[in-house]
């Protein structure tokens, strides 16, 4: 068994254990020792890249809920935070039609 293929085999077994199967059950099914399976589980866990926490800054900002405008039976929706002058200009243009 090649090294890459061997590692894939152990990754599959460890994934089964991480999915909820018992180590003893997996070891018995594949004819391996529990200690060998546990050793591979530790090895693979150590090889995994660790999650990196990044700084986060929470700021108040406009939400992106739609806001409606009804002018002479025509309904338009704008994202909240749209420039009010723009919305007013659109309303005036619709009224002049």
pLDDT tens profile 73-91 = 778 888 777 888 888 888 8
Evaluate whether 64 touches 81 at the Cβ level (below 8 Å): yes
pLDDT tens profile 11-45 = 999 999 988 999 999 999 999 999 999 999 999 98
What are phi and psi for residue 22, nearest 5 degrees? Answer: -80, 140
Q: Where are the domains of the chain?
A: 3-47, 66-95
User: What CA–CA distance (Å, rounded) separates 80 from 66?
Assistant: 6
Q: What is the DSSP letter of 72?
A: T
Please compute the mean of the pLDDT values over residues 57-79 and round it to a whole number: 74
For 29-54, the three-class secondary structure string (H helix, E strand, C coil) is HHCCCHHHHHHHHHHHHHHCCCCCCC
Which residue bears the tokens 């060998």?
A: 36
């Amino acid at each position: 068994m090649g090294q890459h293929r061997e590692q894939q085999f152990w990754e599959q077994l460890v994934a089964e254990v991480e999915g909820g199967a018992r180590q003893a059950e997996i070891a018995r099914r594949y004819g391996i020792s529990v200690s060998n399976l546990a050793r591979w589980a530790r090895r693979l866990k150590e090889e995994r890249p660790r999650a990196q926490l990044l700084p986060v800054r929470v700021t108040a900002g406009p939400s992106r809920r739609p806001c409606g405008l009804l002018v002479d039976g025509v309904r338009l929706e704008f994202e909240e935070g749209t420039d009010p002058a723009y919305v007013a200009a659109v309303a005036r243009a619709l009224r002049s039609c």
